[in-house]
Amino acid sequence: MAASGTAPGAWTLAAAGVWPESSVEAARLRAAVHAGARRRARAGGAEGERVAPPLSGEVPNDEELIAGWLAPYAGSTRAQYARLMHVWMGVLAEAGLGLLDGDRARIEAWGAALLRSGMARTTVAAYLGVVCGFYRWCWEEGHLPTDVGAHVRRPSRPRRSGQRWLEAGELRRLLDAARDEGPTEHAMVCMLGLNGLRIGEAIAARIEHLGRQGDRTTLLLPSRKAGVMDRVGLPERAVWAIGEATRGRTSGLILRTGAGGQFYPAAVYRVLDQLAEDAGIAPPLRPHMLRATFITLSLDAGVPVRDVMASAGHMHATMVSYYDRAYGSVKRNASGRLADWLDTQP
């Protein structure tokens, strides 16, 4: 809806579902908009157009709209989306507009401005995806007559990883350095490097989620990415390291700081950087680098793609290829074999 102090035009009033009850002209406008929506619904909509359900009679304010859209989200995802939507609110407010006044042109212009500021293409694409997701929800809920973000052009995101990974020897040195540093550090590197857990999964892992499946010790991950519950097997080294880190405890977080508190990402980064230095690995060392290492070295070890995918918690095998392509372009690059082959030719 339009920002306070501005006089929205007829389109804004129609789109937002706000009509003065005493205005005959406004009543006609509302009837026309709803009639048009019904006609498009019966016709299936214009080509490529998403047709809205009937417009709601009462329009929430911007904060209420954001709260309604965020309702299914929790934790860091909710916080990040809320922060981003308030940034977008600020962009619109500078033009004297409210959230429901956003349109494709403004969204694309904002994306272009972010790119010019030096923001990575993948980040800009993610930002625009969030905003477009909000407008899709507004359309589905009847707050807008069309999905204004449906055809927003976003920066293409290359489906290959630029992530660094460790060589097999580097991972061995890192594991040994972590073992020498202490049981918590050892358990951390085992979970990140030998199991490929995401940082959020590792720091949220709990003792009571350990179990047995046949002859394997397992760890339950109650909320992996996309809200999936998963159970992963732990290698013997990880089992031993976790046992040492949790000695004398029967519940609570597996990984705890020296003061007994919860690890946060910044603290994990500091631990990994120190261990990398001890192991002769150039910092910075980040958890996702260990996840990339887990995936690429597993493939080199002959582990089938389907098993790597299941272990990493990927929904599609294409994500395994996403990591492996960067690794393969260096480790299995065709240029070396071509050069060797040329030497054998007359």
The token pair that represents 117 in the structure block:
């500021």
| Position 185 in a domain | yes
Q: Are 308 and 298 in contact (CB under 8 A)?
A: yes
- Closest of 281, 288, 275, 285 to residue 323, by C-alpha: 288
Instruction: Provide the domain count of the chain.
Output: 2
Q: Are residues 185 and 137 in the same domain?
A: no
At residue 245, the pLDDT reads: 97
> Could you list the pLDDT tens digit for every one of the 346 residues in the chain?
334 333 333 333 333 333 333 344 444 444 443 444 444 444 444 444 444 444 445 668 899 999 999 999 888 889 999 999 999 999 999 999 999 999 999 999 999 999 999 998 889 999 999 999 999 999 999 999 999 999 999 988 665 555 678 999 999 999 999 999 999 999 999 999 999 999 999 999 999 999 999 999 999 998 777 566 788 999 999 999 999 999 999 999 999 999 999 999 999 999 999 999 999 999 899 999 999 999 989 988 999 888 888 888 877 777 777 777 666 666 677 777 788 888 888 8
Rounded distance between C-alpha atoms, residue 336 and residue 342, angstroms: 10
pLDDT given for residue 275 in this prediction? 97
pLDDT for the residue numbered 32? 41
pTM: 0.60
* Residue 345 in domain: no
End residue of a domain, out of 157, 176, 191: 157
Assigned domain for 40 exists: no
CATH code for the domain of 277 = 1.10.443.10
Which residues, at least 6 apart from 44, have a Cβ–Cβ distance to it below 8 Å?
Answer: 51
Q: Is the peptide bond before 283 cis (omega within 30 degrees of 0)?
A: no
What does 55-83 look like in DSSP terms, one character per residue?
PPSS---HHHHHHHHHTT--HHHHHHHHH
Q: Are 212 and 294 in a shared domain?
A: yes
| Same-domain pairing of 100 and 189 | no
- Residues 272 and 220 placed together within one structural domain of the fold: yes
Write out the two tokens for 192.
């990140």
Asked whether residue 193 falls in the same domain as residue 323, the answer is: yes
Residue 176 within a domain: yes
- Domain enclosing residue 198, as ranges: 168-327
Residues 190 and 290 in one domain: yes
- Which tokens belong to 206? 């709990």
Question: How would you label 31-48 residue by residue, b for 16+ Cβ within 10 Å and e otherwise?
Answer: eebeeebeebeeeeeeee
